[in-house]
Chain A
Amino acid sequence: MSLLDDQRSSRPGPRSQERTSEHGRAPLQGAGPVPARTAGQERAAPVPGATPQQLERVATIFEQGAPGRRAFVCPPIDVPLPAGAELLPPRLRRAEPPRLPEVSEPEIVRHYVRLSKRNFDLDSGFYPLGSCTMKHNPRMHERVAALPGHARLHPLQDPERAQGALELMWNLQQALAEIAGLPHVSLQPSAGSAGELAGVLLTRAYHEDRGERRRKVLAPDTAHGTNPATVSMAGLELVKLATNEAGGVDMDDLRAKADTDVACLMLTNPNTLGLFDANTEEIAAIVHGVGATLYYDGANLNAVMGLSRPGDMGFDIVHFNLHKSFTQPHGGGGPGSGPIAVSQRMAPYLPRPLVVRGGDGAFDLDLHAPKSIGRLRGFHGNYGCLVRAYAYIRSLGADGLKDASETAVLNANYLLARLQKRTRPPLAELLPLAYGELCMHEFVLSGGPMKARLQIRTVDLAKRLLDFGFHPPTVYFPLLVEEALMVEPTETESRETLDAFAEVIATILDEAAEDPGIARGAPYTTPVRRLDEVAAAKRRVVRQAL
């Protein structure tokens, strides 16, 4: 009996969860049929039953160690103290030490490395998460961001003692202004949604400064979910715009809804269907015709860097996701950075401080702005993100940024073609492109026919991809596409990886044609099997007994 068998026999949990095939076959043991190994992809070897990772009982760091064990050894107190001094009154002292772990440094290292191996990350495999631009983060950027002059700079350092950082920020402002085609930039917002909020608050301030109280914000039904959330946070009302047959804004609906109570139209271009709206100029004319502003959601900027500029299309406000388009390690929720660029008329309302350059060439922080919407956060945003974005822009240059976007679009179209031209199985029939024929940097497939013919849903396909070492694309968004699958490969993936991904999609659908239960029971090789997401949301366990 192998060690694995030993472990399995003592832990029946994972096996008890395995489902029975609908076709009356034997219950699936482990990963099911073994697909051909895919080029360039590492994946956990299928094993009978549960994997070692699944069998592993992961103790929290609080459950490890022993009383008195430690990693940190405090230096001795090196200053004289007056005899009998009571530096802190007893009433302010806690009776017991805080309930923190008592572990050695090796235990800490092993624990967190073990946890890290239970995650899927971009350094582990292909991560085609639509509208998230999971591109490779060049390691050079980490070296630059870790330079002591960046990493140890205090945010309250006097401007005259932080000229290097301010120059970097000023240069980044200039670069982002050039990329957006809009002259004024604030680096303060620290996430895409924070950039959106800044933009809508600017719009509100702009209208109020003109004596108007406009209440409505228009957004297409393909908009990112953050758009309506932003509108609510800004105290305004969202009005949805329909999508036309080509996947763009329904112009008749726009004309019907554009009136003088509209403060702004929030548009993502290319939109979340991966399509550039051919009517952008007309949209701008209609929106500006009723005195509203036009907001560019920059989540999909990776499609157009150096190719076209939102400012030239008539947009008044743009937010960037530096953590998407301009690299950054942005898994796990951050940190992010969402600067905004605006037109001249919106500039007085920008968050402060801005980085400015004086006549003597020195850099400073401009705090004077009576019409500013104020600070969006303390200090100056996530400075490390600014450093990495600046390093990216400088290392690629104008031509390199354009190349990056062109390659991102080419990669997406190549993968789309690989999928749509596959006849065995007929992917164009099972997973048709939802709108259009070509795409920009991402595309959206519909899993509706796959569900009808193979009896597996998009979520099943997504979960099964994990067994092959691929992170699933974005699923069930945008909402107007049945069983949506939104794929964004980015420019940093190789042709071999794209080919392998297409092969795996075909493999999964092939095996579903034989036995849909395989995909429905996936994943099999991940640290935990498929979770009950409803229970996870409704019966949350968020407290740890110490």
Chain B
Amino acid sequence: MVYLAWLGRRGIVELGELLLARTHYARERLAAIAGVEKLHEQPVVREFALRLDGDLAAIRRRCALDGVNPGVDAHALSGRAEDRGVLLVAITERRSRADIERLAEALQLAIARQPDPVPT
């Protein structure tokens, strides 16, 4: 309740708009990387799923070596076969545009450096 009072009636809306914009930008920015595709075109608010071309575990490990946690392995959460290779990315108000750019660079590098990409 303290946090909601602190955000206030207008602040919570402005925060929502900021998250909406950053999340949209992040999805477009990451989906522009070769080997990354959006799971769908529906609006996203604060998180989104991407399908990655390659070994997701290896990509996540490489990103981690660059000091970036790129997101969650959706299959590890759901256990569903169709979620294999799906990365769930969340953008909070703590992540600025500079953070999004850093994430994109780390992800691009990790995908490009795969020694044995899975054939599509």
Contacts and interface: CB of A to CB of B under 8 A. Distances in A.
Interface in A492-541: none
A157 B9 contact: no
B60 A100 contact: no
Given A108-B2, A158-B60, A79 B22 contact: yes
Interface in B11-39: 11-15, 17-18, 20-22, 24-25
Given A61-B1, A87-B20, A87-B43, A98 B15 contact: no
Nearest to B57: A158
10 contacts: A71-B11, A78-B22, A78-B97, A87-B20, A88-B20, A97-B12, A100-B9, A108-B6, A111-B5, A161-B69
A89 interface: yes
A153 to B, nearest CB: 11
A87 B16 CA distance: 11
Interface of B: 1-2, 4-15, 17-18, 20-22, 24-25, 43, 45, 60, 64, 69, 72, 77, 93, 96-97, 100
Q: Which 10 A-B pairs have the closest CB atoms?
A: A74-B14, A79-B25, A72-B11, A101-B5, A100-B9, A78-B97, A70-B8, A71-B6, A77-B21, A97-B9
A98 B21 CA distance: 20
A85 interface: yes
A105 interface: yes
A70 to B, nearest CB: 5
A431 interface: no
Interface in A63-90: 68-75, 77-81, 85, 87-89
Contact of A87 (B24, B60, B77): B24
Interface string A423-464: 000000000000000000000000000000000000000000
B97 A79 contact: yes
A102 interface: yes
Contacts of A80: 25
A139 interface: no
A64 to B, nearest CB: 9
Nearest to A64: B5
Contacts of B100: 79
Given A74-B18, A92-B43, A102 B97 contact: no
A34 B17 CA distance: 59
B15 A88 contact: no
A405 B109 CA distance: 57
B5 A71 contact: yes
Nearest to B43: A88
Interface of A: 61, 68-75, 77-81, 85, 87-89, 92, 97-103, 105, 108, 111-112, 154, 156-158, 161
B91 to A, nearest CB: 10
A68 B10 contact: yes
A157 B10 CA distance: 33
Nearest to B17: A77
A58 to B, nearest CB: 15
Given A77-B21, A89-B43, A158-B64, A97 B10 contact: yes
Nearest to B60: A158
A147 to B, nearest CB: 18
A69 B1 CA distance: 17
A108 B96 contact: no
A161 B69 CA distance: 10
A238 to B, nearest CB: 36
Contact of B10 (A81, A92, A102, A112): A102
A101 B9 contact: yes
Contacts of A81: 21, 24-25
A99 B2 contact: no
A103 B10 CA distance: 11
A70 B64 contact: no
B22 A88 contact: no
Nearest to A157: B69
Contacts of B22: 77-79
A85 B24 contact: yes
A111 B13 CA distance: 23
A223 B94 CA distance: 48
A102 B9 CA distance: 6
B13 to A, nearest CB: 5
Nearest to A77: B21
Contacts of A61: 1, 5
B12 A98 contact: yes
Contact of A161 (B1, B12, B20, B64): B64
A100 B24 contact: no
Given A71-B11, A99-B9, A156-B72, A88 B45 contact: yes
Contacts of B21: 77, 79, 81, 87
Nearest to B88: A156
B15 A100 contact: no
A80 B20 CA distance: 12
Contact of A100 (B8, B45, B97): B8
Contacts of B64: 158, 161
Nearest to A156: B72
Given A71-B7, A156-B77, 6 more contacts: A75-B93, A87-B43, A88-B43, A100-B4, A111-B5, A158-B60
A101 B8 contact: yes
